[in-house]
Structure 1
Amino acid sequence: MADLKPKTEISFAGTFASSAFAACFAELCTIPLDTAKVRLQLQKKAAAGEAVGVPKYRGMLGTVATIAREEGLLALWKGIIPGLHRQCLYGGLRIGLYEPVKAFFVGSGYIADVSLFSMILAALITGALAIAVANPTDLVKVRLQAEGKLPAGVPRRYSGALNAYYTIVRQEGFGALWTGLWPNVARNAIINAAELASYDKVKQTILNIPGFTDNILTHLLAGLGAGFFAVCIGSPVDVVKSRMMGDSSIYKNTFDCFVKTLKNDGPFAFYKGFLPNFGRLGSWNAIMFLTLEQAKKFFTWEP
């Protein structure tokens, strides 16, 4: 991923396969934190009918514990099937396309360090393209994760991932699978730029420090840095995306969701679930990039 190019090459198919595998593995390890993040972002709706108005979920670990206690441990992995669907498509495409798009901007024969601007622009484009394809999987994942907030005795809308795809198309139309597309495009383009560009840049910077080499420690530090930048930059659009996908009926459009969230909950609402979001994205990026760097070795060859 870094611009200090090794003397090996990898095909797009190899990059896609290794990226999809790494993203799926990271998803499997960290989805309980993502479930906690979504519940915290949807907190206002869960507490709306309570007379006392005491928040049901408090903090990352508290939310994880509450979900496990009230709904069972497996509830923390709700949405894992569409989550894996998403990572196969989105994870494979956004990373698989990143190097070719970056090379398009600077030229395939470019050997110097690529500018941060080119990194960001390439990642913005690949993130937007990838999520435009994978939006239905993201929608179903959020819907399934939000199921647990329904009151006891209320029948669940979906029995599983495939049933959710079918039910949404039958009840809301095929286009409903792309509900929340624009905030999702904004969120994933921004987060992809923050993740890939910052990983590239942080790794490049670390490798310029005497004593550091292209090893697991470097990948771990660069992955954590990528996760931190991604959360700081992408949290507001992530909150809007979760609220639009969780229940789009109360919002006219993305801008309306943004305005209502700001008006009703204040500016700090856009950073609801910040710690679980960082816990999720920080650990997700560390696991994903560590796995990706190792997986890519199986697909590289000497030119």
Structure 2
Amino acid sequence: MSSLLKPFSISDGPCESGAFRHGVGCSKSLHSPAFDPTISHGATAPGCRTGTTRTRLGCTPGIYHTYSARRTLAAASTGGRKVTHPGKAILAGGIAGAIEICITFPTEYVKTQLQLDERANPPRYRGIGDCVKLTVQDHGYRGLYRGLSSLLYGSIPKSAVRFGTFEMLANPMRDETGRLDNTRSLWCGLGAGMAEAILVVCPMETLKVKFIHDQVSLAPRYRGFFHGVREIIRDQGVRGIYQGLTATVLKQGSNQAIRFYVMNSLRNWYKGDDPRGEMHPIVTAVFGATAGAASVFGNTPLDVVKTRMQGLEAHRYSNTVDCAFQILRNEGPVAFYKGTVPRLGRVCLDVAIVFVIYEEVVKLLNNVWLTD
């Protein structure tokens, strides 16, 4: 019975490996044969190269080469490098980003409010719960979603650029099994984070922070997303939506470097010797949350500096270094971790959701979008 489970090989039997029995003899070939009614099973025809046979159409690849090509294609489809086409990564990333931000925005709102609640002035909020309570009292539950439009408009291209750039950088670096080593995943994540920071995140985050900060001012100016953008550009020019670019690039680059490094390390550990194995969505979510937590503790100080550089009081700082120095001098080192708890909750949920949705959308696209 065990012999039925063995893969068929023409080398089983009297002929040596790679030999095919013709009558009473064995003819050598580098490839195993398979029956193909369109190709002659005779010897190599005169005038044709070794490994080809003569048919009515001329010299064609012999059965040995034909079978080998089919086996090679089959192997490539099941055991070759597992890569994600950048186009699929862009589409899946955009969908994942849109769904995620609609779920997690209130935590982002609270984090930003606590970071803007500077110690130099009498603090308005005593904590996360107090921030939520006062916001709902003053503006209703919709107040927790103030600034959502700017993030929603930016989240789709942000995630699309992130995953698309990561796959474009990572695919050439994968080994023959499709595995990406941990060090290379860190550099690919860094490149993805820098790309999304420059193209999407900096203007998106600047608008979000200005809108949230404007809401708590005594005389709010912005009546909506497009009105706010128009007013900011009119007053400050295009530079007005690119405040804190250096801090944003540093923050996003380190952010994605940490996340992709941790996620890839956990994925490689979980899959072991089978890099093509699938992970259950729950496992993906747990690994994603872990990667998100690591990025929070790793770069929250940069996030605080970025937020201050993009707020309405950004003119107080001459540059990113000056901002960090003033925070340290006026508020102490603890200020660099203000908003860590709400950010931790938001980011862990954010990264878990994004990675799960991204992986599932890619699986769906693989069924309907055939790529090389």
**Could you tell me the TM-score, scaled by structure 2's length?**
0.72
Deviations 1:56-95 (A, max 9, x none): 2233333222212222111111111110122122111011
**Equivalent in 248, 257, 266 of residue 323 of structure 2:** 257
Deviation string, structure 1 residues 165-214 (Cα, Å, up to 9, x no partner)? 2111111012222111110111011111112221222222233499x961
Give the structure 2 partner of residue 239 of structure 1: 304
- The answer for the alignment partner of 1:102 in structure 2 is 170
- Tell me if structure 2 keeps the 8 A contact 1:59–1:276: no
Matches of 2:316 and 2:339, distance apart in 1: 21
Alignment of 1:12-51 (within 5 A): 12-44=86-118, 48=121
Mapped contact 1:120–1:194 kept (Cα < 8 A): yes
Q: Which amino acid aligns with 1:101?
A: L
Output aligned runs, 1:172-211, within 5 Å: 172-208=236-272
SS at match of 2:279: coil
Deviates more, 1:62-71 or 1:181-190: 62-71
Q: 1:288 and 1:67 mapped to 2: Cα distance?
A: 27
Which of residues 133, 145, 162 is equivalent to 2:226? 162
Equivalent residue runs for 1:215-230 within 5 Å: 215-230=280-295
How far apart, in 2, do the equivalents of 1:12 and 1:122 lie?
14
User: In the alignment, what sits opposite 1:74?
Assistant: 142
- Which structure is larger by alpha-carbon Rg, 1 or 2? 2
| Larger relative helix fraction | 1
Per the TM alignment, residue 141 of structure 1 is displaced from its structure 2 partner at its CA by 1.2
Deviations 1:5-50 (A, max 9, x none): 99865432221111011011111111100010001111117x72xx
SS in 2 for 1:157: coil
Q: Name the counterpart of 1:149.
A: 216
Q: Which runs of 5+ in 2 are unaligned?
A: 1-78
Q: Which moved more, 1:94-103 or 1:250-259?
A: 94-103
Task: Indicate if the aligned counterparts of 1:15 and 1:299 stay in contact, CA closer than 8 A.
Answer: no
Q: Structure 1 regions of 5+ residues with no counterpart?
A: none
Instruction: Provide closer, same or farther for how the CA distance between residues 31 and 159 of structure 1 changes in structure 2, counting only shifts above 3 A.
Output: same
Distance change >3 Å, CA 140–CA 256, structure 1 → 2:
same
Secondary structure of 1:214's aligned partner: coil
TM-score by length of 1: 0.88
Matches of 2:209 and 2:222, distance apart in 1: 12
Q: Is the 8 A contact 1:202 1:225 kept in 2?
A: no
Give the whole-Å Cα distance in 1 for the aligned partners of 2:194 and 2:338. Answer: 24
Considering Cα pairs closer than 8 Å and 6+ residues apart, tell me whether 1 or 2 has the greater RCO. 1
Task: Identify the match of residue 290 of structure 1 among 335, 356, 360.
Answer: 356
Residue number in structure 2 paired with 1:91 = 159
Distance in 1 (CA, whole Å) between partners of 2:304 and 2:162 is 21
| Distance in 2 separating the partners of 1:94 and 1:213 | 22
In 1, the alpha carbon distance for the partners of 2:269 and 2:334 equals 32
Cα drift, residue 114 of structure 1: 2.5
Identity within the alignment, %: 24
Letter in 2 for 1:196: F
Deviation at 1:216, TM superposition (A): 1.5
What is the deviation of 1:126? 1.4
Matches of 2:104 and 2:269 in 1, distance apart?
27
The 8 Å contact of residues 211 and 222 in structure 2, kept in 1 or not, is answered as yes
Shift of 1:109: 5.4
Q: Does 1:214 align with 2:279?
A: yes
CA distance in structure 2 between the partners assigned to 1:76 and 1:66 by the alignment: 10
The range that moved more, 223-232 or 62-71, is: 62-71
Kindly report structure 1 stretches of 4+ aligned residues shifted beyond 6 Å. 5-8
Distance in 2, matches of 1:236 and 1:63, equals: 21
Measure the CA separation in 1 of the matches of 2:291 and 2:231: 36
Q: CA deviation at 1:115?
A: 2.4
Output the amino acid matched with 1:30.
T
Question: Following the alignment from structure 2 to structure 1, what is the Cα–Cα distance between the partners of residues 179 and 357?
Answer: 24
